[in-house]
A and B are shown apart, each in its own frame.
Chain A
């Protein structure tokens, strides 16, 4: 594992019965950079995410995360501890907000562990001690900051389930950022967004990287997003890495184009159009 890498996936294999969703996959993600994971449908991208974030226990392989002096073996940690102590946050391919809670509440829930400690594991908070009230105010301020970043400050008090689709996508990113992660894993954040919203998403992700130094691992089909903001791209097909390199290298790689052509014509065209 290189000193500059935040994440190193080594020989990761994930089997579901007879299906090998991820096969002996190795790749790294550099600290403070945006690393993309692309590939045709069913290539195993989401499965890799689920292994990194502890929702699946990999069949074999290691996943190392280095944050400062700490190194975590993610495949050995429980899912909630990966977010809590290893500081890996994620979003989901199918948005998973708390629909019956307001946008603000969604961001407050994300700060659960900080607030829990401040509330003396509820006992002090029950009696409203000043230190807890200060912590809650700080949490609201952080939520307000992120709502502002995603242009949803006006809708802070609306139920998350009532927001338009694009806003929900951005809110989910803001919620992940409220856990103050070292590594942010985004599963198709541009899915279902129109061109204008995609452009806004690019800006948001670049800003997250610039202002917070958060490393980003990105799964995305939308090439206008991937090619524009990624520092490094890994291409997956049938659970195997078929290429990796800079956006320019990936664009010109015949293997990648073939993989996309074999899988889905439209996506191959999207790749080639990204070229022009």
Chain B
């Protein structure tokens, strides 16, 4: 232990000078850059003449931030950074991390279950929780395609839209209940997944990405233009709210509140929606975890690792890819049906490329293939987005910066390593530098 610590120290000795040097250089660059941008402020005066004054205080603060930030960044990079850097995490810190790692999943799960209890009176938090869980579910769904099978899909929102419109149209036109429409929405979305899958089977990498992107746009344009069916840009309104297996959550005599003999509150519905999306997300997670350990899941991952070797082993890569697209699409369809019933109104505006990009960002930031990573990334992205609301127009800037920093520290996402699906003796994790990203 003592030897360990001293070793860590000697390893870090020369580093301190290096980090400091790097920070000084960064600060100097910042000084040169900002001396004109921030140090001197110019403005047109009242008569059109140039007035200027200095802001050396602000400049000094900026340079100090860069200096400190550089040190912090370098240290973080060393601790959690990519593999090529020498990682020097003190043993004590390591212990804390490993404990935190093991306790994280149960703690998160318990906390999520308790959110409606803790925040019962805070509608905003409950709504945010539902939103986060929706994206967790979408992330987990897309993770099957991108993270496991390694197929870059930029049009995932198409399946979300198919699910949402399936429910909306079936419910408003035929009066079918949510619980009948939910599987139908999943099946329809899966069907569209196969439909997308066929033309893109031969495509790889950038080409695959572009065609999936186009597919997402085509679905949206069809929805906008097929006015007689979808209502076009006006969308579909009056989508029935979900019932608790037939019992509506309304103030009426047959409502849940009346049946239970408690006072009606609109929060009941929100809480119900919260647990509904939680159940759907956990179902997605459960199925994905099971699938990973089945031959089909292993074939997906093998496909991501080496498609040629898969074919040499007798794996039909065509059907393997199609099942990946269909499975991911099905979960997207479920999420879409939930979205429709929650909103009560849907229009093509909800299904733009922005959504696809957001879900993909969640998967990539989370660490492709990692269920926990995706959940954390969804929480950070959607929650963080709300957190920065106070920054108004700077929100996107801060957010973009945070994402860039994250990708510098963890180029393979929050949780980049891979857990084996089967083991003989030891269940060791596989470091991210060995795991392929697929050809997407």
Contacts and interface: CB of A to CB of B under 8 A. Distances in A.
Contact of B426 (A84, A128, A157): A157
Given A100-B305, A108-B422, 6 more contacts: A92-B308, A96-B308, A99-B305, A104-B424, A115-B294, A122-B291
Given A84-B314, A100-B434, A157-B428, A116 B309 contact: no
Contacts of B435: 99-100
B78 interface: no
Given A80-B311, A126-B291, A97 B306 contact: yes
A122 B421 CA distance: 15
B99 interface: no
Contact of B422 (A100, A105, A112): A105
B295 A115 contact: yes
A101 B304 CA distance: 11
A162 B431 CA distance: 10
Nearest to B433: A161
Interface of A: 53, 55, 79-84, 89-90, 92, 96-102, 104-105, 108-113, 115-116, 119, 122, 125-126, 128, 140, 144, 153, 156-159, 161-162, 175-176, 179
Contacts, number: 134
Contact of B427 (A83, A113, A126, A157): A157
Contacts of B312: 53, 55, 79, 83, 89-90, 92, 96, 176
Interface residues of B, number: 38
Interface string B394-433: 0000000000000000000000001011111111101100
Nearest to B424: A156
A218 to B, nearest CB: 16
Q: Which 10 A-B pairs have the closest CB atoms?
A: A100-B435, A83-B314, A84-B314, A98-B305, A115-B295, A161-B434, A96-B309, A156-B424, A159-B430, A109-B302
B218 interface: no
Interface string B302-325: 100110111111111100000100
B298 interface: yes
Contacts of A108: 295, 298, 421-422
Contact of B424 (A110, A111, A144, A159): A144
Contacts of A84: 314, 316
A128 B431 CA distance: 29
Contacts of A128: 290
Contacts of A92: 308-309, 312
